[in-house]
Amino acid sequence: MMDVAVAEGNFAPGHDEAKRARTLRRFRIGDATFKAITQGAAIAVLILLAGVIIALIHGSLPAWKAFGFGFLTSQSWNPVTDKFGALPAIYGTLLTSFIAMLIGVPVSLGIAIFLTEICPQRLRRTIGIAIELLAGIPSIIYGIWGLFVFAPWFQTHVQPFLIDAFAKIPLLNQLFAGPPYGIGLLTAGLILAVMVLPFITSITREVFDTVPPVLKEAAYGVGCTRWEVMKRVVIPYTRVGIIGGVMLGLGRALGETMAVTFVIGNAHRIATSVMAPGTTISASIANEFTEAVGDLYTSSLIALGLILFFITFVVLAFARLMLLRIERKAGK
Amino acid sequence: MALNNTKALYARRRWRNKVATVLSIGAAGFGLTWLVLILLVLIIKGVGGLSLAVFTEMTPPPGSAGGLLNPIVGSLILTVIAVAIGTPLGILAGTYMAEYGRYSKLTSVVRFINDILLSAPSIVVGLFVYEIMVAQMGHFSAWAGAVALAIIVIPVVVRTTEDMLLLIPNTLREASSALGVPRWLVIRYVAYRAARAGMVTGVLLAIARITGETAPLLFTALNNQFFSWDLNAPMSSLPVVIFQFALSPYDDWQQLAWTGAFLITVAVLGLSILARVLSSKKVAQ
């Protein structure tokens, strides 16, 4: 086409052809440059991740050298004698996240069911936005609120009641043994539960929307109740997506720092009672890192960070794979 | 007999349905209650401490009155630098993923990794920046804090840029390509302009995200009791001051922490609502 245009052109061939070639060359170079720059930026994201892993491994080397894999199973955390072990922090991280999931998952599913099936259309948007705003509140706000408002209330109104109620039941009386401090593993788990609610809810809502209306209508058509449609059609259809959403929430809970740091009590020990103070990986780092003196102390905290990164990476990668699967299903 | 059975079954099914309905309404009520409770306490405790002094005076030594001027300015400086570093990188990477490399292997890998970075624990980002900057330079600095925040900005911007560019109809790009416009100019003058509102939304969301970030600043920018423009020195920031003051035993400090918490929440909610309004306008078009 362009050749024709040149051949029939009203302009003088020699001079303008050179100009055109120059312009075309500029276009090509510009395009190649811009592509290279954007590609470089995309690769930079990968380098960032690699950099994080390398920096954490490098920083934690002294701790691994000193303690070996015993670091993962040791319970001692003593800056004076320079003996460090990660087990209490790992235990606290897993336990608080478990409590958060135990409460957060059913409630999130309930909210998502409410928003997609029960709620009047007019309120749906408003409540949906309100729940998502909950996700935007910074974690430090949950922390300060948990410390000054929730923990004192929990200490005087709920914990004594729990201690009394389970006092005579074996095993449970160990789990809910006093004294009621207010702060502790259970409190941290509850605050985390509120924090993960909006994340799990919004993803569950999205995957519920991927269910083809025909499926639901067919189920209603043969006389199913709303609950039966949810339980036998919607939830089985979206199972993979729900698992993805739950794992994403779990990833958040595991790595959450500030909300937990305020209310966990920062005690490096494994208590049988969930009401006792404990610590999590992120809370230990936040509390102690700036005060850590000595290479081994710092390095042990970085090693904790590496463990946390590894755990959350696995959980989040799994969550993404699950969500990818349901996206493909919806795309078909 | 058979009729009775059917009736009983029907009653049971209806009852189950009712229980499930009540439970999910209860769940929604539970979630909303927390939101209301948190906001209510913040307003009551935060507004009480709000005064002109908060915006004009420095953070006080324990036991005396003061304001939050240096942490407010510090937070603004850190945010501006973080956005200035993170946004271009994020937009460029998002551009590659949506335009040049839409179907390439690299894109799917980057998307996967980016989604993980998006929800990776922010305290780990702090450790990373500590290792590469603070430990190398030998001291805490505002630069380190800004870089840590920038690392949190990048995945948010990458994600929204890619999503928004993918929403632009291909016919627009094809029309300009048919005129002989090279790819990079199509992206600059067509794709970016069409996706502008969405990309701005992404940046706003990123700012909202870093406004309340505390963990990555704790051992990068650290804290500074005094007003400072020096980017090579530790710098005060609102979240870190809230953390420090809230855990202190002094009433004045705790009150300032609540006021700071109130300010941050207002800023974050304001930004999220603004982003929402912008993106819904985009849809309306």
pLDDT in tens, B71-94: 999 999 999 999 999 999 999 999
The pLDDT of residue A131 is 78
Query: Which three-class secondary structure state does DSSP give residue B116?
Result: helix
Q: Which of B109, B121, B219 sits opposite A46 (nearest CB)?
A: B109
pLDDT digit string (tens) for A48-95?
A: 999 999 999 999 999 999 998 889 988 889 888 888 999 999 999 999
**pLDDT tier at A269, thresholds 50, 70, 90:** confident
Q: Is the pLDDT reported for residue A150 higher than 60? A: yes
Enter the tokens of residue B97: 């993923």
Q: How many residues does chain B have?
A: 285
* Residues A233, A235, A239, A241, CA torsion sign: positive
Could you tell me what percent of chain A has a pLDDT over 70? 95
Residues of B in Cβ contact (< 8 Å) with A106: 27
Smallest Cα distance from B123 to chain A, Å: 7
Structural contact between residues A38 and B96, judged by C-beta atoms closer than 8 angstroms: yes
For the CA atoms of B160, B166, B169, B174, the dihedral, rounded to the nearest 10 degrees, stands at 120
The pLDDT of residue A47 is 95
Could you tell me what percent of chain B has a pLDDT over 70? 97
For B154, which residue in chain A has the nearest alpha carbon?
A45
Q: Measured between CB atoms, does A49 come within 8 Å of chain B?
A: yes
Q: Which of B41, B119, B122 sits opposite A316 (nearest CB)?
A: B119
Smallest Cα distance from A264 to chain B, Å: 13
Structural contact between residues A63 and B127, judged by C-beta atoms closer than 8 angstroms: no
Q: Is the pLDDT reported for residue A39 higher than 50? A: yes
Point out the least confidently predicted range of A14-18, A115-119, A204-208, B264-268.
Answer: A14-18
**pLDDT tier at B285, thresholds 50, 70, 90:** very low
Which of B209, B235, B206 has the alpha carbon at shortest distance from B222? B235
| Average pLDDT over every residue of A301-319 | 94
Residues of A in Cβ contact (< 8 Å) with B215: 257-258, 282, 286
Interface of A with B in 104-163 (CB under 8 A): 106-111, 113-115, 117-119, 127, 129-134, 136-145, 147-149
Taking chain B, what is the end-to-end CA distance rounded to the nearest angstrom?
A: 62
How far apart are alpha carbons B87 and B210 in whole angstroms? 13
Structural contact between residues A117 and A216, judged by C-beta atoms closer than 8 angstroms: no
How far apart are alpha carbons A235 and B64 in whole angstroms? 57
Spell out the alpha helix ranges (H) of chain A: 2-7, 13-67, 70-73, 87-113, 121-136, 139-145, 151-153, 159-165, 172-175, 185-208, 213-221, 226-229, 235-237, 239-255, 258-263, 281-288, 295-331
Could you tell me what percent of chain A has a pLDDT over 90? 52
How far apart are alpha carbons A239 and A259 in whole angstroms? 30
Q: Measured between CB atoms, does A320 come within 8 Å of chain B?
A: yes
| Average pLDDT over every residue of B133-162 | 93
Q: Which of A40, A114, A138 sits opposite B268 (nearest CB)?
A: A138
Which of A270, A259, A252 has the alpha carbon at shortest distance from A308? A252
**pLDDT tier at A5, thresholds 50, 70, 90:** very low
Residue where the block lists tokens 């994340």: A199
Smallest Cα distance from B57 to chain A, Å: 23
Q: Is the pLDDT reported for residue A317 higher than 60? A: yes
| Average pLDDT over every residue of A290-302 | 89
Point out the least confidently predicted range of A11-25, A44-58, A270-284, B228-242.
Answer: A11-25
pLDDT digit string (tens) for B167-226?
A: 999 999 999 999 989 999 999 999 999 999 889 999 999 999 999 899 999 988 888 888
Residues of A in Cβ contact (< 8 Å) with B95: 38, 41
Q: How far is CA A63 from CA A58, A311, B73, in A?
A: 10, 18, 38
Comparing A101 with A167, the larger pLDDT belongs to: A101
Residues of A in Cβ contact (< 8 Å) with B158: 45
Q: Is the pLDDT reported for residue B123 higher than 70? A: yes
Q: Is the pLDDT reported for residue B2 higher than 80? A: no
Smallest Cα distance from A160 to chain B, Å: 22
Interface test with B, best of A140, A192, A201 (most B CBs within 10 A): A140
Structural contact between residues A46 and B110, judged by C-beta atoms closer than 8 angstroms: yes
Point out the least confidently predicted range of A128-142, B100-114, B135-149.
Answer: A128-142
Smallest Cα distance from B265 to chain A, Å: 6
Q: Which of A49, A55, A261 sits opposite B117 (nearest CB)?
A: A49
Residue A33, CA atoms < 13 Å, CB-side half-sphere: 7
| Reported pTM | 0.89
The pLDDT of residue B30 is 87
Query: Which three-class secondary structure state does DSSP give residue A83?
Result: strand
Beta carbons within 10 angstroms of residue B3's beta carbon: 7
Average confidence score pLDDT of chain A: 88
Q: Is the pLDDT reported for residue B11 higher than 60? A: yes
Interface test with B, best of A25, A26, A53, A137 (most B CBs within 10 A): A137
How far apart are alpha carbons A81 and A60 in whole angstroms? 18
Q: Is the pLDDT reported for residue A2 higher than 80? A: no
Element (H, E) at B176: helix B170-178
Q: Is the pLDDT reported for residue B126 higher than 80? A: yes
Q: Is the pLDDT reported for residue A259 higher than 60? A: yes
| Average pLDDT over every residue of A229-247 | 90
Q: Measured between CB atoms, does A226 come within 8 Å of chain B?
A: yes
| Average pLDDT over every residue of A28-44 | 94
Average confidence score pLDDT of chain B: 89
* Residue B242 main-chain phi, psi, to 5 deg: -60, -45
Q: Which of B26, B120, B182 sits opposite A31 (nearest CB)?
A: B182
**pLDDT tier at A132, thresholds 50, 70, 90:** confident
The pLDDT of residue B74 is 93
* Residue A79 main-chain phi, psi, to 5 deg: -65, -25
* Residue A180 main-chain phi, psi, to 5 deg: -75, 100
Q: Measured between CB atoms, does A305 come within 8 Å of chain B?
A: yes
Say which residues have a Cβ less than 8 Å from residue A91's Cβ, sequence separation at least 6.
A270, A278
| Average pLDDT over every residue of A192-203 | 90
**pLDDT tier at A308, thresholds 50, 70, 90:** very high
Q: Which of B28, B109, B269 sits opposite A127 (nearest CB)?
A: B28
Enter the tokens of residue B86: 């993170």
Residues of B in Cβ contact (< 8 Å) with A303: none
For A190, which residue in chain B has the nearest alpha carbon?
B34
Q: Is the pLDDT reported for residue A6 higher than 70? A: no
For the CA atoms of A134, A136, A141, A146, the dihedral, rounded to the nearest 10 degrees, stands at 30
Q: Is B234 exposed, middle or buried (0-12, 13-18, 19+ CB in 10 A)?
A: buried
Which of A104, A109, A125 has the alpha carbon at shortest distance from A227? A109
Structural contact between residues B257 and B241, judged by C-beta atoms closer than 8 angstroms: yes
